[in-house]
A and B are shown apart, each in its own frame.
Chain A
Amino acid sequence: DQQVKQNSPSLSVQEGRISILNCDYTNSMFDYFLWYKKYPAEGPTFLISISSIKDKNEDGRFTVFLNKSAKHLSLHIVPSQPGDSAVYFCAASGGGNTPLVFGKGTRLSVIA
């Protein structure tokens, strides 16, 4: 049973527009959430994170929003650039001795 779900396998956005990637989770014990970005033939790299005590975290063009009551988080990229084209993984953890649980990923294509 998938505890972290990314229901959109792919997303296409025009350059300059906003990209919104969504993630849902089922485990209410999760309190730390991360987004990873993966280019072809490379390992995933950390992008941005948020803890459950916040509802928003921003880093440049990237903003993550957390809605705990809905068990939902989203990653906004504004403005989108062709270099943002990659697979984005959402991950969650409950802290303590529990490792990160990843979603299946969403492939973002930013079209020039």
Chain B
Amino acid sequence: DAGVIQSPRHEVTEMGQEVTLRCKPISGHNSLFWYRQTMMRGLELLIYFNNNVPIDDSGMPEDRFSAKMPNASFSTLKIQPSEPRDSAVYFCASSLELWGELFFGEGSRLTVL
């Protein structure tokens, strides 16, 4: 079975541009999470969904960040406008239940110049 699929793997963009990261969770998983990894903060939870409904977005750093999950097999994380400090690796993960084992995608490395 395919794991969590993220795209793009790498994104280089200029400050002010819109960035959209995509995620396909494992089929049958009810929960989806967006994390950001930086040297300073480690793995930081941005937002998570349960049964396609956003449960907690308190980790989203600013209003420039938004996430959607229009159906059980797709989610997006959007940054508009992007800034250099948004440069990080963004991970999507899914799980059967909120407190269960997380399965991570390979990540999307974002560089904002």
Which residue numbers of A lie inside 8 Å of B, CB to CB?
6, 32, 34, 36, 41-46, 49, 89, 91, 93-105
- Chain B residues touching A, range: 20 to 34
| Complex contact B107–A103 (CB within 8 A) | no
* Cross-chain contact of B104 among A6, A43, A103 (Cβ < 8 A): A43
| Complex contact A95–B102 (CB within 8 A) | no
Query: Which residues on the B side are within 8 Å of A6 (C-beta)?
Result: 42
| Complex contact B98–A99 (CB within 8 A) | yes
Query: Which residues on the B side are within 8 Å of A96 (C-beta)?
Result: 98-99
Instruction: Give me 9 A-to-B residue pairs in the complex whose CB atoms sit less than 8 angstroms apart, sorted by A's number.
Output: A42-B106, A43-B107, A46-B101, A49-B101, A89-B43, A91-B102, A98-B99, A102-B42, A103-B42
| Complex contact B91–A43 (CB within 8 A) | yes
